[in-house]
Amino acid sequence: MTHVIRTATTDDAGRLAKLAAVTFPLACPPGSAPEDIAAHVASTLGPDNFRAYLADPAVTVLVIDEAGELRGYSLLVARPAQDPEVAAVLSELPCTELSKCYVHPDHHGLGAAAELMHASIAAAAAAGARGLWLGVNSQNARAIRFYSKSGFHRVGTKSFKLGSTVEHDFVMERAIRP
């Protein structure tokens, strides 16, 4: 079935939360405690969280929409990096954060993620960004490979707290040429 990539609206908040609950655990390292993952999903990826993201003028959410079903989403934040570990290593400024990039597992390996990435880069470029950065768990080999294919390279590391565990994310950046 064909799909479109479009900007999300507040009507998508509930469906985004459902998709996020399926896809967030896939990005966590194998040893993550299920209760930590569930708590993180409940506190940051619920419908109200997505409504707040969508109301933030610095945030753009793109969705892969297949006949009304969401198959993937990305979330861009057009703000200077707050984390000093990140701000210190970025060189393509202004640099938008690709804060979330998730595709439903039924659609992995089929090119949908590359289309979502292409649209995300285009949206960041249209908003004036010179670079795009992201954090990815150091054990998430599939995502790291995908980001490398998409033109990102590793520029540093940052810490990410999941429950009581401190995870180490790679910071990756790519230039956006006008």
Ligand X SMILES: CC(C)(COP(=O)(O)OP(=O)(O)OC[C@H]1O[C@@H](n2cnc3c(N)ncnc32)[C@H](O)[C@@H]1OP(=O)(O)O)[C@@H](O)C(=O)NCCC(=O)NCCS
Give the one residue of 50, 146, 152, 170 binding ligand X; rule: CB under 6 A.
Answer: 146
Number of residues in contact with ligand X, rule: CB under 6 A? 18
Counting Cα atoms < 13 Å in the Cβ hemisphere of 44 gives 12
| Cβ neighbours around 70 below 10 Å, total | 19
78 residue type, one letter: A
Give the one residue of 18, 79, 142, 153 binding ligand X; rule: CB under 6 A.
Answer: 142
User: What is the 8-class DSSP label of residue 105?
Assistant: G
Spatial CB neighbours of 14, under 8 Å, sequence gap ≥ 6: 47
Least spacing, CB of residue 107 vs ligand X, in Å: 7
With respect to ligand X, which residue has the nearer C-beta, 79 or 149? 149
Site pattern 109..128 for ligand X (x: CB under 6 A): x---xx--------------
Tokens of 58: 């610095």
With respect to ligand X, which residue has the nearer C-beta, 10 or 118? 118
Give the one residue of 50, 53, 73, 102 binding ligand X; rule: CB under 6 A.
Answer: 102
157 binds ligand X (CB under 6 A): no
With respect to ligand X, which residue has the nearer C-beta, 14 or 160? 160
Give burial (CB, 10 Å; 0-12/13-18/19+) of 102.
buried
With respect to ligand X, which residue has the nearer C-beta, 6 or 142? 142
Q: Which residue, 110, 94, 122, is CA-closest to 146?
A: 110
Q: Which residue, 121, 161, 152, is CA-closest to 33?
A: 161
d(CA 167, CA 41) in angstroms, rounded, equals 16
Least spacing, CB of residue 145 vs ligand X, in Å: 3
Q: CB under 6 A: which stretch of 14-22, 31-39, 86-94, 144-152 binds ligand X?
A: 144-152
Give the one residue of 19, 45, 101, 176 binding ligand X; rule: CB under 6 A.
Answer: 101
d(CA 139, CA 31) in angstroms, rounded, equals 10
Binding site for ligand X (CB under 6 A): 23, 26-27, 101-103, 108-109, 113-114, 136, 140-143, 145-146, 149
